[in-house]
Homo-oligomer: A and B are copies of this chain.
């Protein structure tokens, strides 16, 4: 099943809702109002109601949204109802932080392979994974990996992207501070941490 086309900005918020819903579910809650979600997540309650209306308004007046149903819907919309295996390329400080990051499991992601070019890193264990040489990347083809994370310096990013596309990865999370080019069938999301910092001063009134 494919839901109707959903605006990118709503897609951006869905993982936020999902994380909030999982958090509330772990606390033993069954239902949640848009108001409570709003306070927890810092998203306007009308925005939440509008976003949820894209996949059919299943909230009950006075009761709110059923949390299990919410989690099920969002997982299905985001294609998170199937597990995803991720190849990480670049095991420097950032890559190491990503390997140790517990948050991926929340969404059903597993970092299944880690690659680097540094001979001092290749063969070493990191968080239960043995770092492999980048030349071994083609070996992931049979291992069900459909996502890639690029955590290499800017100069190497395009080459790594080409290699990931070459082994059939269909989605790339790019942490390198440069634009990369991929075929249309592959989706790239570029993360620039500085961009998130750059939004902050907007909200700080001049003193």
Give, as a whole number of angstroms, the nearest-CB distance from A50 to chain B: 13
Residues of B within 8 A of A18 (CB): 198
**With A79-B202, A200-B147 in contact, is A193–B194 under 8 Å at CB?**
no
**With A93-B96, A93-B100 in contact, is A109–B194 under 8 Å at CB?**
yes
Give, as a whole number of angstroms, the nearest-CB distance from A158 to chain B: 15
- The SS class assigned to the A binding surface is helix
**With A103-B192, A194-B107 in contact, is A201–B97 under 8 Å at CB?**
no
How many of chain A's residues touch chain B, expressed as a range? 35 or more
Interface residue from B15, B23, B199 paired with A12 (Cβ < 8 Å): B199
The answer, yes or no, to whether A84 is at the interface (CB within 8 Å) is yes
Give, as a whole number of angstroms, the nearest-CB distance from A70 to chain B: 15
Residues of B within 8 A of A197 (CB): 86, 104, 107, 109, 147, 149, 173, 189
The answer, yes or no, to whether A206 is at the interface (CB within 8 Å) is yes
Give, as a whole number of angstroms, the nearest-CB distance from A181 to chain B: 11
Interface residue from B92, B195, B202 paired with A16 (Cβ < 8 Å): B195
The answer, yes or no, to whether A122 is at the interface (CB within 8 Å) is no
